[in-house]
Structure 1
Amino acid sequence: MSETTFADIDEQQKNIVKPLIRSQLKKGEKILLITRQHWIKLLLPFIAWLLVVVMMFVFLPSTIAFVITFVSALYPLNLFLGWKNNLWAVTNMRIIDESGFISRYSKESPLEKINNVEYDQSPWGRMFGYGDVEIQTAAEMGDTTYRLIHHPRLLKNTITQAQEDYKHVQIANQANQLANAIKASMPAGSTMSVAGEIEKLFSLYQKGAITQEEYIGQKNKLLSNK
């Protein structure tokens, strides 16, 4: 099976409803994906409630059955509102987990704290498009497993791609800061030489010609010889 590209992710997102999250976005933060649990989470509880309603109309007077049905309808309504307001958002900086209708709950996992992302789908999950996603982080919350997620592979690929992009942005910022610091602290002739070499190294890293370890090693070597 071919690996999903970020272009594929963008194409798949067109078919997913994107509700608004309640969390305030940071400066420069962009939403890459918003998803929730699959509708199948509501199926069994709704069927169980419906069977109870049918049994009441069979064994109880219709007036009593109507009253009990009206009151008990709060149960599936509460399930639906809980499902609708339980969202996971992936941005270019973090993962946001929101839930709650009346009382609200929110937590986040910064991208730099995420060590690994895995997803698992049963045969039924592959058929209907749901599965579990496990996120392993270095933060205090530890590992988190999201159950019955709609499009689990899409969520996993979006997170890993966001991590790669975030890493490139951070390295680019560090390279620019170092170049600016060198230009500010060295004579004009040597400044252009070292800063230019660092910029060339970063360009090679962006093109994939050298690894991150090679880029950092060569950069440190240039700085130590300045």
Structure 2
Amino acid sequence: MKYCTNCGHEILSEAKFCMGCGVPIASPSNSVRPKSVMEIDPQLPKKGGLFSSYTEQSLINDEIIIYRAKLHWVIYLNAFLIFVASIFCLGLSEEGDDIYDNLGTSLLIYTFISAVITFIVVRTSEFFVTNMRVICKVGFIRRKSVELFLVKVESISVDQSILGRILGYGSVTITGTGNTHDPFKMISAPLDFKRYVQDQVARHN
């Protein structure tokens, strides 16, 4: 037998209103929170291994990845421009000028080193939104990271230049309770990242 939570009057199992006070009887099905589009197909954590990420290995109980951002390809632009300059110098060296030959070779070597370093930065940088936390990590040797539980997130801002709005990248700054962290730059689709963070924060408030 059920009883009204407002007045304690006995109610029938199929009743929609309390006969004592007239308060509507909540349906059990209404207590189930519908899932958002962001939670319909969450990215489940992968098994640990050589290529598993820091975030995937540090997930706590019942924590799932909702959204994953990455660094934009524009981060390779510097290495690409140096590569073009090296090809230009090597082309001039065909006229017999050793200065251009040495310069072109040096720039080509620098391009390779720069591309490798950038690749490592891209592979080791992580920007995740889970159902419990926001996790951002950049760097391999010198690491910069932010891990905030959603209840501690006060705000998240996005800064985009004109080129950033055209190509789809920008800087994201996360403000936690009492702290403002340095921006994470060159994140691809930063507005999507912000939207997912705000959606999950709203569910915890």
Shorter-chain TM-score range = 0.5 to 0.7
The alignment-based identity, stated in percent, is 22
Q: Is 1:158 matched with 2:199?
A: no
Q: Measured at CA, do residues 11 and 147 of structure 1 come closer, stay the same or move farther in structure 2, by a change above 3 Å?
A: farther
Q: Measured at CA, do residues 12 and 80 of structure 1 come closer, stay the same or move farther in structure 2, by a change above 3 Å?
A: farther
Residue among 86, 91, 94 paired with 1:53: 86
Give TM-score scaled by structure 1 length: 0.56
Whole-Å separation in 1 of the counterparts to 2:145 and 2:102: 41
Q: Deviations over 1:150-200 (max 9, x none)?
A: 111111111011112223xxxxxxxxxxxxxxxxxxxxxxxxxxxxxxxxx
When the two chains are superposed, the root-mean-square deviation of aligned CA atoms in Å is 3.2
Unaligned segments of structure 2, at least 5 residues: 1-35, 44-50
Residue among 22, 38, 45 paired with 2:54: 22
Amino acid at match of 2:80: I
Q: Measured at CA, do residues 70 and 11 of structure 1 come closer, stay the same or move farther in structure 2, by a change above 3 Å?
A: farther
- 1:90 is paired with a residue of what secondary structure? strand
- How big is the shift at 1:127? 2.4
Higher Cα Rg, which structure: 2
Q: Is 1:87 matched with 2:121?
A: no
Whole-Å separation in 1 of the counterparts to 2:87 and 2:203: 54
- How big is the shift at 1:70? 6.1
- 2:63 is paired with a residue of what secondary structure? coil
Unaligned segments of structure 1, at least 5 residues: 1-5, 168-226
Q: Which has the higher helix share?
A: 1
Give TM-score scaled by structure 2 length: 0.61
- How big is the shift at 1:98? 1.9
Amino acid at match of 2:130: T
1:38 aligned partner? 72
2:167 aligned partner? 128
